[in-house]
Every structure is written in structure tokens, then in C-alpha cells.
Amino acid sequence: MNIDILAFGAHPDDVECAAGGVVISTTALGGKVVISDLSRGELGTFGDQHSRERESTLAAKLLGLQDRVQLDLGDGNLENNQKNQMEVIRLIRRYRPKIILANAIHDRHPDHKKASELVSQAAFLLSGWNNDYR
């Protein structure tokens, strides 16, 4: 599947908070957008895991997403390692996005920084420098 935007967030609601306008503008114009939550946000202070799952399902419908994928890589200790990079790479290969979005690298939340590094490194590995990841 070829999509316009694949947006990664460390937690459910990260993409909506940081790039919701881009997402809804894209889908309103007929574009295809997929969001991937890297964790369930189970350690968050705003709502429990189950309420966040319900909210993310509703948000997917309201935003007109093609799909929403939960990678469940663990909240509070998100790691940029080969296993997690391969999970991100699989999604990039599956959806073949024109644009990849991720959390900001200069964010005070540790999971946001790690999510940015993880997605950036996975995208780099797919860029042609390392044939092992293609």
C-alpha cells in the first residue's frame, strides 16, 4: 500500500497533539494517513491504558485514517535497538509512505526523544546505505 503520511508517536495521542492539523488536512484532501503508536502509554498520568485505546480508536475514525497500528514496544523505557528498528522498518515497508513523521528530537519527554531517534534511524537504514534492512 502506498500512503501519503506514516506518523509515529511514542504514545497514543502524541501524533494528534503534535501533528493533528497536518493529519486531518491531508485526509480531508483525500490523502492516506496511518498512525503507529510505539507504546500503549500504560505509564501515563492522563488516563489508563484502556481509556487511551478507546480514545485512539475514536480519533482514528474522526481523522479518517487508513489504519492505526499499535507496536506495543513498552512505555517509559522505549529503546532504540535492532528489534524495535525492525518493527518500524516493517511498517515503513508495508505502507511505503511519501512522508514519515515522528516525535521531536528536542523534547523533554525521554520517550519522545527515543521515539524520534528510533524512527529516524530506521528510516536511515532503509535509505540505501545498508542492504541488510531492505
Predicted confidence at residue 132, as pLDDT, reads 54
What is the C-alpha to C-alpha distance for residues 118 and 78, in angstroms, rounded to an integer?
9
Could you tell me the residue ranges of all domains in the chain?
A: 5-133
Helix axes 14-28 and 49-63, enclosed angle (nearest 10): 20
Helix (H) or strand (E) holding 25: helix 14-28
Residues 97, 108: Cα–Cα separation, whole Å: 28
pLDDT for position 130 = 54
> Helix, strand, coil: what percent of the chain each, to 5?
50, 15, 35
Give 90's pLDDT tier (boundaries 50, 70, 90).
very high
Would the pLDDT of 110 be above 80? yes
Angle, nearest 10°, between helix axes 110-124 and 82-95? 60
Q: pLDDT digit string (tens) for 37-80?
A: 999 998 877 777 888 899 999 999 999 999 999 999 999 989 99
The C-alpha cell at 39 is 507504546
For the four alpha carbons of 55, 17, 24 and 72, in that order, the dihedral sign comes to negative
Q: Tell whether the model's pLDDT for residue 98 goes beyond 90.
A: yes
- SS3 assignment, position 71: coil
Instruction: Tell me what the mean pLDDT of segment 84-106 comes to.
Output: 97
The band of 131, judged by pLDDT with boundaries at 50, 70 and 90, is: low
Type of residue found at 35: I
Q: Which amino acid is at 44?
A: G
Is the CATH number 2.130.10.10 carried by domain 5-133? Answer: no
